[in-house]
Amino acid sequence: MTIDKVDVDPNSLLSDLFREHPETRAVFNRYGLRGCGGDHGPAESLAFFAEAHGVPLDQLLAEIHQVIRDPVAREAARTQLAEDQRPRLADAIYQPFFLAGLAVIVTVGAAWGAWLLVKIGWTGTFTGVTIHEVNAHGHAQIMGWVGLFIMGFACQAFPRMWQVDLPAPRLALLTWWFMLAGIAARSTAMMASETAWASGLHRAGAAVEIAAVAVFIGLLTTAFFSSRIRMQPYVGFVFAALVCFLIQTVYSSWHIGQLIAAPTRDALLQQVAMFQASLRDIQIHGLGLMMILGVGIRMFPAIFGLPETPDRRGWTALGVLLAAIGLEVFLLPAYQMTGNRNLAYGMLLPWMMLPVGAGLIVGPWRLWRPLPEPGRSDRSGKFIRVAFAWLFLSFGMLLLLPVYQAASGIAFSHAYYGAVRHAITVGFISMMIVGMGAKVVPTLRGIEPDRLPALWPTFVLLNVGCFWRVASQVMTDWLPVFYGVVAVSGLLEWTALVLWAAHLCAVMRGWGKYRQEGDTGWGPVPDQIEAEHRVAAVLAWHPELEPVFVEHGFELIRNPVLRRTVARQVTLQQVCRMKGVDLDAFLEALRRSRQVPDPAGCPAEPPRLVPLNVGTPRRSED
């Protein structure tokens, strides 16, 4: 399909528009497309882009028309595009975070969790694994799986929603390194809790994790306040989640540090009884739930055509949920400290408030009905809908806890409480990450939806595995034979996540059938070769230039390993300096020898350097 030279309407696809009018991409870049959508642009409509990025559709259409019709504006847009083509770290900052998150979930996350289940099944008791083993898995999952995905998504998406650049992308990348170092150090310390060096290693790991999370939140806060976006409920949810992220990192560092250093088993058990549950509440309800609701309020109307959440309802829900989380975090330790049973019964209040608060947001979406858009063909919608079903199931199970206690005669059922937690960590949070990853990553890479699989095997295995785990774990309280089958759930969930992780990696890295036609991995071929272009980029755009490199003394470029490594890092300017080659002469030789596309189809106006005047970037959403 092609787009008439000027007749652009809200349903036009960005990829079609860019094919016909490549310079209009400059308009979209200013509203957050830069670095996203692959070389050809995403297969999404203008109306969708406008809603997802918070740009008034009329304004977007007016600016596009101006670029198409006005030669001065068009030339300015071309100049901006040439600038935009320089690869920037911020353009795909989500990738290292997502890739590390995938590595965590398939190894120390789901695989290790499955191994723990095998041990539990083998010993026939939930105390068949040590608290340190469970905590090492829990910590890796919260920080390495949920945390890294949130960080990658937030650094990529929020500045674009707020129409500003991510401040200090190098610092953002440094937080990635710190997170990996912190997770590795703390996990090792927990697994080696008996050694003399465990406490020291754990403290060091905790320090870098806290630094990483604090810097990450600082970057997002700076981005938000440098935009002029009005404070809206979704922003409130997002920042509430970020505050919980920091609190839980500090809290978990202290709590697990105490467990590692506990002098006796009694001291260890007392610490767990008093503080472990409230830590999990901050992590799961405070970080996971609040972030998902914030992103949902902002993105689901655009992606799935769900109704917008009115501000008043959004603020009310935020207030109810924050009060609920505050109460549940306070009441259990208070009960453990005072022994006052009324405080324990009081937990029912926050447990009732949680579904009320979440229901205020999710209820009007009527997720029991098919999603209005984009219809049945959308592969991510089913994950999102079922994730909320798991959320409300976990809330229902919490409320039924007193009934369960009375029926089973067990004062505190580890099996039941663990099942509730699994319903929300895997059924809700992980299901949501899988569904949103399946939606967001192909969009960022510009892969058309009809080239993507529906992900049914992942969907079925993850749901069956989660159901099996929740049901069989509860049943172990009644029939010990269920210890023998509970571990099967780990294998099902692990398989589901491995299938999805392999698919997402392939989409992200452009492997196999997800390699885009003409996709060089370095953005569209620029008009001119410049000194600051990377060697690998120049060779990807113009493979015919290899002999020119060799003639100028860069024979090593023929070595495929160096081409995949060093050549990706160094610019033409740097290699010339290193080799003592005259940069200007080399650039001239490259420019002379490259094969340029036939300019017949290009407009022939001479280049004019004028300031970009195709409308001011919109920086406010009100």
Distance between CA atoms of residues 313 and 317, nearest Å: 6
Least spacing, CB of residue 298 vs ligand HEM, in Å: 22
- Which residue among 202, 280, 285, 445 contacts ligand HEM (CB under 6 A)? 280
Answer yes or no whether residue 75 interacts with ligand HEM by CB under 6 A.
no
Stretch that binds ligand HEM, among 8-16, 110-118, 365-373, 538-546 (CB under 6 A): 110-118
Stretch that binds ligand HEM, among 71-79, 113-121, 354-362, 365-373 (CB under 6 A): 113-121
The one-character DSSP state at 563 is: H
Nearest CB to ligand HEM, comparing residues 142 and 557: 142
Distance between CA atoms of residues 417 and 451, nearest Å: 41
Instruction: Identify the three-state secondary structure at position 571.
Output: strand
Stretch that binds ligand HEM, among 39-47, 183-191, 419-427, 514-522 (CB under 6 A): 419-427
Nearest CB to ligand HEM, comparing residues 80 and 187: 187
CA angle 533/534/539 to nearest 5° reads 100
Nearest CB to ligand HEM, comparing residues 46 and 110: 110
- Which residue among 418, 435, 446, 524 contacts ligand HEM (CB under 6 A)? 418
Least spacing, CB of residue 116 vs ligand HEM, in Å: 4
Distance between CA atoms of residues 283 and 246, nearest Å: 10
- Report the first-to-last Cα separation within the chain, whole angstroms: 35
Q: 19-48 mask for ligand HEM (x: CB under 6 A)? A: ------------------------------
Query: Widest CA span of the chain, in angstroms?
Result: 85
HSE-up of residue 47 (Cα within 13 Å, Cβ side): 10
Q: 536, 568 in Cβ contact below 8 A?
A: yes
Answer yes or no whether residue 476 interacts with ligand HEM by CB under 6 A.
no
Q: 542-581 mask for ligand HEM (x: CB under 6 A)? A: ----------------------------------------
C-alpha dihedral (316, 318, 320, 326), degrees to nearest 10: -150
The one-character DSSP state at 198 is: H
Nearest CB to ligand HEM, comparing residues 177 and 412: 412
Distance between CA atoms of residues 424 and 431, nearest Å: 9
- Which residue among 429, 455, 537, 587 contacts ligand HEM (CB under 6 A)? 429
Question: Is residue 467 within a helix (H) or strand (E), and if so which, with residue range?
Answer: helix 456-475
Instruction: Identify the three-state secondary structure at position 451.
Output: helix
Residue length of the chain:
622
Nearest CB to ligand HEM, comparing residues 154 and 164: 154
Count of beta carbons in the 10 Å neighbourhood of residue 542 = 19
Nearest CB to ligand HEM, comparing residues 36 and 116: 116
Question: What token pair was written down for 149?
Answer: 């995905």
Beta-carbon contacts of 116 under 8 Å, excluding residues fewer than 6 positions away, are: 129, 133, 134, 137, 490
Residues between 488 and 507 that touch ligand HEM (CB under 6 A) = 490, 493
Least spacing, CB of residue 290 vs ligand HEM, in Å: 14
Nearest CB to ligand HEM, comparing residues 66 and 276: 276
Stretch that binds ligand HEM, among 87-95, 106-114, 387-395, 582-590 (CB under 6 A): 106-114
Q: 262, 135 in Cβ contact below 8 A?
A: no
Answer yes or no whether residue 437 interacts with ligand HEM by CB under 6 A.
no
| Alpha helices for 368-448 (secondary structure H) | 381-399, 401-408, 414-422, 431-445
Q: At residue 369, what is the residue type?
A: R
Answer yes or no whether residue 291 interacts with ligand HEM by CB under 6 A.
no
Stretch that binds ligand HEM, among 85-93, 421-429, 537-545, 600-608 (CB under 6 A): 421-429
- Which residue among 113, 182, 236, 437 contacts ligand HEM (CB under 6 A)? 113
Nearest CB to ligand HEM, comparing residues 120 and 306: 120
Q: At residue 566, what is the residue type?
A: V
Beta-carbon contacts of 565 under 8 Å, excluding residues fewer than 6 positions away, are: none
Question: Helix 57-69 to helix 46-53 angle, to the nearest 10 degrees?
Answer: 120
Nearest CB to ligand HEM, comparing residues 107 and 338: 107
- Which residue among 68, 99, 117, 256 contacts ligand HEM (CB under 6 A)? 117
Least spacing, CB of residue 267 vs ligand HEM, in Å: 18
Backbone angles phi, psi at 48, to 5 degrees: -65, -45
- Which residue among 55, 108, 110, 212 contacts ligand HEM (CB under 6 A)? 110
Least spacing, CB of residue 165 vs ligand HEM, in Å: 31
Residues between 128 and 147 that touch ligand HEM (CB under 6 A) = 134, 137-138, 141-142, 145-146
Nearest CB to ligand HEM, comparing residues 117 and 525: 117
- Which residue among 253, 425, 472, 476 contacts ligand HEM (CB under 6 A)? 425
Instruction: Identify the three-state secondary structure at position 579.
Output: helix
| Alpha helices for 305-400 (secondary structure H) | 311-338, 341-345, 348-362, 381-399
Nearest CB to ligand HEM, comparing residues 52 and 287: 287
Which residue in this structure is represented by tokens 């039941």? Answer: 416
Distance between CA atoms of residues 512 and 469, nearest Å: 35
Stretch that binds ligand HEM, among 109-117, 222-230, 297-305, 612-620 (CB under 6 A): 109-117
Instruction: Identify the three-state secondary structure at position 81.
Output: helix
- Which residue among 116, 223, 238, 488 contacts ligand HEM (CB under 6 A)? 116
Distance between CA atoms of residues 583 and 590, nearest Å: 10
Answer yes or no whether residue 121 interacts with ligand HEM by CB under 6 A.
no
Nearest CB to ligand HEM, comparing residues 79 and 413: 413
Residues between 239 and 278 that touch ligand HEM (CB under 6 A) = 276
Q: At residue 332, what is the residue type?
A: L
Rule CB under 6 A: which residues touch ligand HEM? 109-110, 113-114, 116-117, 120, 126, 134, 137-138, 141-142, 145-146, 276, 280, 418, 421, 425-426, 429-430, 490, 493
